[in-house]
Structure 1
Amino acid sequence: MRYTPEFQDPDDLLLVSRHLNGRRPWLSPTGQVPYAHVLYAAAVRGHAPTAVVARLAALGHTDVQHSGALWPDSIGIEDAELVKRKGHDSYSQQWIDVGEPVSLREIVETAGHAKSSPADIARRLTALGYRLGDSGPLPGSPNPRDVMLIRTDRRGDGSWLGWGDEVSAAHVLEAAEYLACSPHAAATRMSALGLRLPYTPEPDDERILRFGDTHHARYPGRYASAPLGHVLAVARETGRRPADIVARLKVLGVGGPGAAVPDSPQDDDLVILSEELDGCRPWLQRNTVVGLRMRHILRAALATGRSPAGITARLTELGHWLHENAELPETADEADVRLLETVDRSYLDDVHLENVLRSASLTGRSPADVASRLTALGYTLPDEVEYPDVRGALAAS
Structure 2
Amino acid sequence: MHLARRLRLADAVFIGLGSMIGAGVFSVWTPAIGVAGAGLPVALAIAAIVAYANATASAQLAASHPVAGGTYAYARAEIGPWWGFVAGWSFVIGKIASCAAMAMTFAAYAAPAGWETLVAAVAVAALVAVNCFGVTRTALVTRLLVVVSLIGLAIVVAAGFGASPAIPAPALPDATAYGVLQGAGLLFFAFAGYARIATMGEEVVDPARTIPRAILLALGGAVVVYGAVAAVVMLTLGADAATSPAPLVDVLTATGTEWLAPVVRVAAATASLGALLALLTGIGRTTLAMAREHDLPAVLAKVDPRWQVPRRAEITIGVVVIGIVLVADLRDAIGFSSFGVLLYYLIANAAAFRQEGAARRFPRALQVVGALGCLVLVNTLPVLASLIGTAVVLVGVGGRALVLRARRARGPRAQPPASDR
Q: TM-score, normalised by structure 2?
A: 0.20
Greater fraction of residues in helix = 2
Q: Which has the higher contact order (CA 8 A, sep 6+)?
A: 2
Bigger-Rg structure (1/2): 1
Q: TM-score, normalised by structure 1?
A: 0.21
